[in-house]
């Protein structure tokens, strides 16, 4: 046994890399739950001694808990609690219906309005929650208009991933990047929100053009949408007011982080705790996506094993050698590789692997050199989710519900539009990264 441990220690980079690659393959295969794969990989990492399982003076640096980013974990759990409690009141449904009524039932405006609502909501709520909230409204509106809901659902998929790119809390990859790079909520707003709105506007305009023949209805049916009864959408006014105030204060706390220096996860945790005072915690906590949370934990341990072995530092060194230290070349490789790979594999493990690598590059080359690399990773990882129907969780949820409703979205048809939308998004991002960060 001692000889085996010594053999593993001597080949720690290779062993930890094999665990990560095999985990990636099984996650992409999707035959076994990704949380099971992450936890098995994490368990194997600890069992083989790639990370220390006890905090001793000799192994405190490599203690496995040190590699689990609890800023990410607590922020995710807290926002899931806040969003779930707020959505119970019906406040988001009411808001979406009010926006829908303003379109006067004109199909092109309905598509644009629902897409924008999905995009903006995804910047503050998680993508899956947003599409779950907007899908019933979409089906109801399309039934009134007597038109195919697929153009609307496809637009919402694209905009949920694009909108989630805009803020720190919009998409899990951004939460990972924000914690690793020590970026605030307002850093994301300053650097990403503008370009995200440009990408969203271009994508919506393009989709309206592509689906223009399907976006037609009669004046009588359009009038039905403009007169949707929204009086019963809010099911609990007290809860809506309470949740609305807490959500507003939490976002205000995120915005003022640069002044208060209160950690983002702590602001969210305080907000979640306040709302839980008025709820039955057992009922609310059961709704937290614990699969996602434990997926993150297992993943952090696997990647921690590679980082502790020196594998991440080796990757960083290799990338700098390939690009000959060029900041522009490194940024573009990260942007395009992230965009393409995130369409094929889950963007969460990809981002979790890349963040320590960029952190290693930052240690070698300095904060200024690494600054555009972080934003290239954020744009690529989040926008790449639009490439395939399995590229992001929101895509899968929408496609499954569309199939149940008798409107299946085929893999190949989505891929045709997904590749186009992703390439356009990455091209706009390339221009933005170059002119925003790389021109001296």
Query: What pLDDT, on the 0 to 100 scale, is given for residue 239?
Result: 95
327 token code pair: 């900041």
Mean pLDDT of all residues in the chain?
90
Per-residue model confidence (pLDDT) at position 228: 86
pLDDT of residue 85: 94
62-71, 369-378, 398-407 — most confident range? 369-378
pLDDT of residue 391: 78
- pLDDT category at 231 given cuts 50, 70, 90 is confident
Beta strands in 59-134 (DSSP E): none
Both tokens assigned to 288 = 């937290």
What six digits make up the tokens of 140? 């109801």
Q: What 3-state DSSP class applies to 137?
A: helix
Rounded Cα distance, 266 and 260, in Å: 12
Size of the chain, expressed as the number of residues it contains: 440
Paired with 63 in beta bridges are 52
Q: What is the DSSP letter of 52?
A: B
Q: CA separation (Å) from 383 to 170, 185, 242, 336?
A: 12, 19, 33, 10
Closest CA to 357 of 394, 326, 330: 330
Q: Specify the pTM.
A: 0.89
Name the burial class of residue 155, with classes exposed (0-12), middle (13-18) and buried (19+) by CB atoms within 10 angstroms of its CB: buried
| Report for 2-11, 125-134, 303-312: range of highest mean pLDDT | 303-312
Whether 82 contacts 268, CB under 8 Å:
yes
- Above 70 in pLDDT, residue 59? no
What was the pLDDT predicted at 7?
Answer: 80
- 150-176 pLDDT tens trace: 999 999 999 999 999 999 998 889 999
Phi, psi of 53 (to 5 degrees): -95, -10
Tens of pLDDT along 260-274? 989 999 999 999 999
């Amino acid at each position: 046994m001692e000889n085996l441990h010594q053999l593993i220690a001597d080949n720690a980079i290779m062993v930890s890399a094999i665990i990560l690659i095999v985990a990636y393959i099984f996650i992409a295969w999707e035959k076994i739950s990704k949380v099971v794969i992450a936890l098995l990989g994490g368990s194997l990492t600890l069992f083989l001694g790639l990370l220390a399982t006890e905090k001793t003076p000799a192994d405190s640096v490599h203690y496995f808990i040190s590699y689990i980013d609890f800023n990410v974990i607590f922020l995710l759990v807290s926002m899931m609690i806040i969003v779930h409690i707020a959505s119970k009141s019906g406040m988001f449904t009411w808001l979406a219906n009010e926006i829908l009524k303003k379109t006067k039932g004109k199909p092109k405006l309905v598509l644009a309005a629902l897409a924008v609502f999905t995009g903006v909501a995804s910047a503050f709520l998680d993508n899956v929650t947003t599409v779950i909230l907007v899908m019933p409204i979409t089906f109801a509106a399309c039934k009134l208009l007597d038109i195919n809901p697929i153009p609307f659902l496809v637009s919402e998929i694209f905009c949920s991933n694009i909108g989630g790119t805009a803020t720190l809390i919009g998409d899990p990859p951004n939460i990972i990047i924000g914690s690793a790079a020590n970026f605030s909520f307002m850093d994301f707003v300053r650097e990403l929100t503008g370009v995200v709105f440009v990408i969203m506007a271009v994508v919506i305009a393009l989709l309206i053009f592509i689906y223009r023949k399907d976006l037609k209805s009669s004046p009588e049916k359009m009038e039905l949408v403009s007169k949707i009864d929204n009086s019963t959408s809010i099911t609990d006014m007290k809860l809506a007011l309470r949740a609305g105030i807490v959500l507003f204060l939490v976002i205000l706390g995120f915005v003022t982080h640069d002044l208060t220096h209160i950690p983002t996860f702590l602001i969210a945790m305080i907000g979640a705790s306040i709302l839980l005072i008025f709820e039955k915690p057992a009922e609310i906590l059961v709704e937290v996506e614990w699969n996602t949370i434990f997926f993150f934990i297992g993943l952090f341990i696997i990647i921690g094993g590679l980082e502790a072995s020196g594998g991440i530092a080796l990757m960083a060194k290799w990338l700098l050698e390939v690009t000959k230290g060029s900041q522009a070349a490194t940024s573009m490789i990260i942007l395009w590789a992230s965009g393409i790979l995130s369409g094929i594999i889950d963007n969460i493990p990809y981002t979790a692997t890349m963040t320590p690598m960029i952190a290693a590059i930052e240690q070698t080359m300095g904060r200024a050199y690494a600054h555009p690399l972080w934003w290239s990773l954020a744009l690529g990882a989040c926008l790449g989710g639009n490439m395939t129907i399995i590229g992001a969780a929101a895509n899968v949820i929408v496609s499954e519900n569309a199939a149940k409703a008798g409107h299946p979205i085929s893999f190949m048809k989505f891929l045709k539009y997904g590749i186009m939308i992703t390439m356009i998004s990455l091209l706009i991002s390339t221009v933005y990264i170059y002119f925003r960060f790389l021109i001296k």
